[in-house]
């Protein structure tokens, strides 16, 4: 099962994702300064750099980021796929869709990702999902320099990824 880490906030998240052999690490356009994203990806190798595009208002910033960063995947709501595909044409970009309405999208390579909350979803349930990948949300530190990855560790161990 492939894994995507969403909303990368810092180098710790990116390195954890790389250690877990994640397929993708996602940065929500506009959440972090571009310079911080560049610094994080400069220290982290392995997962595909994914831009997360939650809404169309970020068009100009998304285009700028795509011109500067080595973007390998774009994640957007399925209903916005045509909009983003016309704004960000790149035949080598993998398109990840955020919801279940992928049946209406037939002209692209697509990956169906299921968002998982390790606090409320058991690993056994996750194993039974009929999805290409699972997605885990990264959160900001509540105490500077300290993050607790215990839930993710338990989940990845149960899924036999560790």
Q: Where are the domains of the chain?
A: 2-158
Residue 4 or residue 159, greater confidence: 4
Residue 154's pLDDT band (cuts 50, 70, 90)? confident
User: 74 Cβ partners below 8 Å, 6+ apart?
Assistant: 50, 51, 53, 84, 88, 93, 94, 95, 96
The string over 103-137, giving b where at least 16 C-beta atoms fall within 10 Å of a residue's C-beta and e elsewhere, is eeeeeeebbbbbebebeeeebeebeeeebebbbbe
pLDDT in tens, 19-67: 999 999 999 999 999 999 999 999 988 999 999 998 899 999 999 999 9
pLDDT in tens, 95-153: 777 653 333 333 334 555 666 666 666 667 766 766 667 778 887 776 766 777 887 78
- The whole-number pLDDT of residue 104 equals 31
Residue 98 or residue 16, greater confidence: 16
- The whole-number pLDDT of residue 119 equals 65
Residue 85 has pLDDT above 90, yes or no: no
Q: Kindly state the DSSP code that residue 138 receives in the 8-state scheme.
A: -
Beta-ladder partners of 137: 6
- The whole-number pLDDT of residue 31 equals 92
Model pTM?
0.80
**Domain spanning 2-158, CATH class:** alpha beta
């Amino acid at each position: 099962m492939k894994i995507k880490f969403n909303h990368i906030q810092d180098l710790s998240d990116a390195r954890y994702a790389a250690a877990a052999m994640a397929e993708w690490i996602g940065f929500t356009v506009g959440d972090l300064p571009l310079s911080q994203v560049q610094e994080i990806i400069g220290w982290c190798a392995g997962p595909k750099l994914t831009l997360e595009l939650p809404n169309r208002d970020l068009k100009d910033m998304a285009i700028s980021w795509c011109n500067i960063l080595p973007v390998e995947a774009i994640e957007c709501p399925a209903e916005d796929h045509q909009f983003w595909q016309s704004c960000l044409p790149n035949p080598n970009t993998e398109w990840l869709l955020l919801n279940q309405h992928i049946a209406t999208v037939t002209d692209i390579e697509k990956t169906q990702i299921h968002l998982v909350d390790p606090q409320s979803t058991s690993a056994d349930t996750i194993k039974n999902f009929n999805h290409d990948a699972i997605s885990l949300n990264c959160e900001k530190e509540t105490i500077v320099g300290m993050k607790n990855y215990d839930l993710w560790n338990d989940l990845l161990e149960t899924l036999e990824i560790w």
